Amino acid sequence: MMGRIAWKLLPAAPALAILFAWWVYWTIVQPPPSVIPSILDVVRTGAELAFGGRLAGDIVASMGRLLGGVAFGMVTGMIAGFIAGLWRPVADFFNPLVVFFNAISGIVWLPLVIGWLGVGNALATFLIWNTVFFIVFQNTVLGIQLVPEVLEQGVRSLGGGRWETIRSVTLPGALPYILSGVRSGLGFGWRALIAAELVGATTGLGQLIFSGSEYHRADIIIFGALLIGAIAMLMDRWLLAPIERRTVVRWGLVAASRGR
Amino acid sequence: MRNGCDAMTRHLRDLRVLLPFAVLIAIWWGLKDGFGISDKLLVAPPLVWSAFGTLITRGILAEYASTSLSMIGIATLISFVVGVPLGFAVGTNRYAARALEGFLRYLQGISGIAWLPLAILWFGFTHTTTLAIVIYTLIVPIIFNTMTGVRAIPENYVLALRSLGASRLRIVTDVYFPGALPSIVVGTRLGMGYGWRALIASEMLVRQGGLGDLIFGARTFSQIDRIMVGMIAIGTLYIVVDRLLVQPVESMTLARWGVLRK
Amino acid sequence: MSADKIVVSGFRHFFQSDSGRVQATGEIDVTIREGEVVTLVGPSGCGKTTLLKAIAGFITPSEGQILCDGKPVRGPGRERGVVFQELAILPWRTVRKNIAHGLEIARVPKAERDRTVERLIGLMSLNGFEDRYPHELSGGMRQRVAVARTWAADPDVILMDEPFAAVDAMTRLTLQEELGRLCATTHKTVFFITHSVEEAVFLGDRVLVMTKRPGTIKATLDVPRHGKGGRDWDSFTGDPEMRAISEQVMHLVHAERV
């Protein structure tokens, strides 16, 4: 009985250990709060930000950019991925470009595109789109190429034409890969967004933590970083896991709760 | 004769790789001239080419690139040396695995860049800051993949060796290490991909050299040609390191020990 | 005498591989009459699957031609249903939806579709599994769904490529009997390939034996069917005539060991 409870609580252990070490360090060394704040400072700052209204605005700004960029990247990535996946010559022709632009996707574009779009939502959305597009594209192509040929042959022998084969075989067959592309796309998009907001925006969580470093407020940075991780985790759990449970897990194509 | 033919087709294949780039450059040039786009937004290909020449001959590109490359090299080395043993420790102990899996996942959600402001407060605008960010980014996937690699090894392998009277050390060297190696290599490759991006982003803000500094500094003076040379260098170096150095190791270990599931 | 349903004449096939052209089959001539169950037995790699895929229309013969109802085969069509060796039913459709798929494609009205599906679920003993997904079923159950899906689409000819090869031996006996009953009650034209001599004799009205690669048809044996169907293992194993035919086929196949 004791063992079961301990086993259940085990995942909380690292966080508790860090909090404890932090508290011990802080009480013994008493570092300046601009370098290492006390736990209490971080909690208090978090509450102030939350109730002061600034935080909600930053979260909304970041989430809006994220959703816009991810949705755009997903749709374009899937469409391009389907075209390349269904027509081999198209995929072969574009492959070198995909390899190259994938290597510089995301934040690398910032210095160039900041001149085109200026600081703000458009820039952040572009950088997220650019990150998500390649991940979703490559996963879609891979997913389509890995659908077993025998499934297509089966439907064709039932009299299904090309469109029927795409609809009933290719699309659901590629779905596990597309979803895992969307899943990691969302994760990468989130990273790209924070990076983009550090210099390419005036609001958002990235700006929040960046302003923390300008005003020497380590408490703001730590609170912001922890919040960024929490949001990433919740998005994965509440947005994507349910979609997977209802489709690919139900069809027995992938096991539940699989990692990246 | 046959050899000549083979060489011909190989050259043709090389050209096929370049063809889409030629098309792209043509479109870029056409857009630039056709719409009369300002040099402050986009420059024509020849200008990029001459900027490339300047940066090469003055040794600027080599200097910035070597800073970036040595940073990613050092960070990979440290992350590997620290991360792999940690991954083993966590992977062979089910309590440690249970305790750390969720925590590591959570850390993956906080990108290295999110810690950059804190690192700047702690270490200032120095290479240490960049190194800390890149190691943080690199080490999590290495620990994570080592851990999953170790845990994916069928227990029977261990039991079989134990029944032959193998020592604990022997089991590590003969089962755990070769069994987890493909996964470790995959984790390192992934980590290097994430790390390279984090490095560029960090260099943009820390401004102590490196290709990120090069392109972000060029922004200040609207030197679009330099930005584009830098971007091309970043992409090319990444592809070269990934395809010529890391991927061969990955394919070798995967081919040798077989794929541990998907 | 029934009409010729499938006529394969002068068929030969080659594959293109890295090391050049590989001959997959020798010259093959086969005629399958309407309502007949023809089984083809041959060593692995002899080209029997190639022949079946050509009749199905998935591959174009390198030489010769294949006629179905006197018309040349060009690509797959719903008049030629296929049951594959591997699992070819769709993992994302329930049992019911899988069986109904061919009817959906043919735009059969829902009421009629449901009736057909219901009948096949009964015939293939799938009752109670209608709303399960394939991964929730055993291997034998899945192959039942695959057979039912093909029968539901009501093709003229059914091509079966070692459909029971991946099923355990006990289940295989049941499936073979069920297929035998299905053939007897629906009077379909069936072309069934296998590497099991017993299966070939048990199911076939006619058994074709192939040589090793590049395969040609080596012999044709008629299997007399007494009474209706007559395909159950109890009477089969006790029948000296069947045993004699099996032995004969066994000798022919034995000579082709690779």
> In this predicted complex, what is the ipTM?
0.88
Mark which residues 128-167 of B lie under 8 Å from A by CB.
144, 148
The span from the CA of B247 to the CA of C210, in Å, is 46
The span from the CA of A40 to the CA of A45, in Å, is 8
Contact A94 B20 (CB under 8 A): yes
Specify the DSSP element, H or E, that contains C22. strand C20-33
Mark which residues 19-38 of B lie under 8 Å from A by CB.
19-21, 24
Query: Measuring CA to CA, how many Å separate A14 from each of A11, B90, B99?
Result: 7, 12, 7
List of chain A residues whose C-beta atoms are within 8 Å of the C-beta of residue B216: 110-111
Contact B239 A99 (CB under 8 A): yes
**pLDDT at residue A164 tops 90:** yes
Residue matched to tokens 């912001």: A224
Contact C153 A159 (CB under 8 A): yes
Q: Tell me what pLDDT residue B60 has.
A: 92
Residue matched to tokens 């089991």: B171
Q: Tell me what pLDDT residue A255 has.
A: 60
Q: Tell me what pLDDT residue B258 has.
A: 52
Is the CB of residue A134 less than 8 Å from the CB of residue A101? yes
Token digits for B37? Answer: 């786009």
Specify the DSSP element, H or E, that contains A21. helix A13-29
Is the CB of residue C43 less than 8 Å from the CB of residue C195? yes
Domain spans of chain B, in order of start: 1-37, 40-257
Query: Measuring CA to CA, how many Å separate A90 from each of B18, B21, C173?
Result: 15, 14, 48
List of chain A residues whose C-beta atoms are within 8 Å of the C-beta of residue C102: 158-159
Mean pLDDT on C241-255? 91
Structure letter (DSSP) for residue C3: P
Query: Measuring CA to CA, how many Å separate B46 from each of B19, B215, C247?
Result: 18, 18, 81
Contact B216 A111 (CB under 8 A): yes
Contacts of residue C67, defined as CB under 8 A and 6 or more positions apart, other chains included, come to C6, C7, C8, C9, C73
pLDDT band at A30 (very low <50, low <70, confident <90, very high): confident
Contact B113 A191 (CB under 8 A): yes
Is the CB of residue C181 less than 8 Å from the CB of residue C231? yes
Residue in A159, A173, A251 nearest the CB of C105: A159
| Burial per residue of B172-204, b for 16 or more beta-carbon CB atoms within 10 angstroms, e otherwise | eeebbeebbbbbbbbbbbbbbbbbbbbbbbbbb
Q: Residue type for B111, please?
A: S
- The angle that helices A54-86 and A205-214 make with each other, rounded to 10 degrees, is 130
**pLDDT at residue A187 tops 70:** yes
DSSP readout, A60-91? HHHHHHHHHHHHHHHHHHHHHHHHHHH-HHHH
Mean pLDDT on A201-220? 91
For residue C217, list its beta bridge partners.
C210
**pLDDT at residue C209 tops 60:** yes
Domain covering B40-257, topology: MetI-like fold (1.10.3720)
- Give the CATH number of the domain where residue A240 resides: 1.10.3720.10
The full 3-state SS of C110-161, as one line of letters, equals: HHHHHHHHHHHHHHCCCCCCCCCCHHHCCHHHHHHHHHHHHHHCCCCEEEEE
* Residue at A189 is within a domain: yes
Domain spans of chain C, in order of start: 88-154
Q: Which subunits have 3 or more CB–CB pairs within 8 Å of chain C?
A: A
Torsion sign (Cα): A247, A250, A251, A253: positive
Choose the mutation target among C97, C105, C131 for the interface with A, i.e. most A CBs under 10 Å: C105
Contact B114 A209 (CB under 8 A): yes
Judged by DSSP in three states, A30 sits in coil
**pLDDT at residue C119 tops 60:** yes
List of chain B residues whose C-beta atoms are within 8 Å of the C-beta of residue A216: 121
- How many separate domains does chain A show? 1
Contacts of residue A207, defined as CB under 8 A and 6 or more positions apart, other chains included, come to A58, A197, A198, A201
Token digits for A133? Answer: 């597009």
- Among A42, A229, A198, smallest CA distance to A127 is for A198
A210–chain B nearest CA distance, Å: 6
Q: Tell me what pLDDT residue B2 has.
A: 46
Contact A107 B200 (CB under 8 A): yes
Other beta carbons within 10 angstroms of residue B112's beta carbon come to: 28
pLDDT band at C258 (very low <50, low <70, confident <90, very high): low
For B218, how many CA atoms within 13 A lie in the half-sphere containing its CB?
28
For B4, how many CA atoms within 13 A lie in the half-sphere containing its CB?
1
List of chain A residues whose C-beta atoms are within 8 Å of the C-beta of residue B116: 198, 213
Q: Tell me what pLDDT residue A257 has.
A: 43
Mean pLDDT on A165-172? 93
Decide: C and B in contact? Rule: 3+ Cβ pairs under 8 Å. no
Q: What are the pLDDT digits (tens) for A54-79?
A: 899 999 999 999 999 999 999 999 99
Full domain range(s) for residue A67: 42-249
Contact B235 A11 (CB under 8 A): no
Specify the DSSP element, H or E, that contains B105. helix B94-109
Other beta carbons within 10 angstroms of residue C57's beta carbon come to: 20
Choose the mutation target among A157, A245, A253, A254 for the interface with C, i.e. most C CBs under 10 Å: A157
DSSP readout, C200-253? HHHH-SEEEEEPSSSB-EEEEEE----SS----HHHHHH-HHHHHHHHHHHHHH
* Residue at A14 is within a domain: no
Token digits for C227? Answer: 């009474």
The pLDDT profile of chain B, 262 residues, written as one tens digit per residue, is 445 556 666 666 677 788 899 999 999 999 999 888 888 889 999 999 999 999 999 999 999 999 999 999 999 999 999 999 999 988 888 888 888 888 988 998 898 999 999 999 999 999 999 999 999 999 999 999 999 889 888 888 888 888 887 888 888 888 888 888 888 998 999 899 999 999 999 999 999 999 999 999 999 888 999 999 999 999 999 999 988 888 888 888 776 665 443 3
Token digits for C48? Answer: 């029997």
**pLDDT at residue C221 tops 90:** yes
A156–chain B nearest CA distance, Å: 29
Radius of gyration of chain B (CA): 23
Is the CB of residue B56 less than 8 Å from the CB of residue B238? no
Q: Tell me what pLDDT residue C229 has.
A: 52
- The angle that helices A171-200 and B94-109 make with each other, rounded to 10 degrees, is 60
pLDDT band at A180 (very low <50, low <70, confident <90, very high): confident
**pLDDT at residue C227 tops 60:** no
Contact C88 A156 (CB under 8 A): no
Torsion sign (Cα): A117, A122, A123, A126: negative
Q: Tell me what pLDDT residue B164 has.
A: 82
Terminal CA-CA length for chain C: 38
| Burial per residue of A25-51, b for 16 or more beta-carbon CB atoms within 10 angstroms, e otherwise | ebeeeeeeeeebbbeebbeebbeebee
Residue in A199, A213, A233 nearest the CB of B120: A213
Contact A159 C90 (CB under 8 A): no
**pLDDT at residue A31 tops 90:** no
Q: Tell me what pLDDT residue B65 has.
A: 96
- Among A168, A98, A110, A174, smallest CA distance to A141 is for A174
Residue matched to tokens 């991927």: B247
- Among B48, B36, B147, B53, smallest CA distance to B91 is for B147
For residue C192, list its beta bridge partners.
C39, C160
The span from the CA of B202 to the CA of B135, in Å, is 12
| Burial per residue of B232-248, b for 16 or more beta-carbon CB atoms within 10 angstroms, e otherwise | ebbbebbbebbeeebee
Mean pLDDT on A193-201? 89
**C74 interfaces chain A, CB cutoff of 8 Å:** no
* Residue at A138 is within a domain: yes
Q: Tell me what pLDDT residue C187 has.
A: 85
Token digits for C28? Answer: 């093959």
Residue matched to tokens 């596990």: A176
Query: Measuring CA to CA, how many Å separate C248 from each of A216, C207, C254?
Result: 93, 11, 10
Contact C90 A168 (CB under 8 A): yes
Residue in A150, A159, A253 nearest the CB of C102: A159
**pLDDT at residue A260 tops 50:** no
**pLDDT at residue A258 tops 50:** no
Contact C90 A154 (CB under 8 A): yes
Q: Tell me what pLDDT residue B10 has.
A: 65
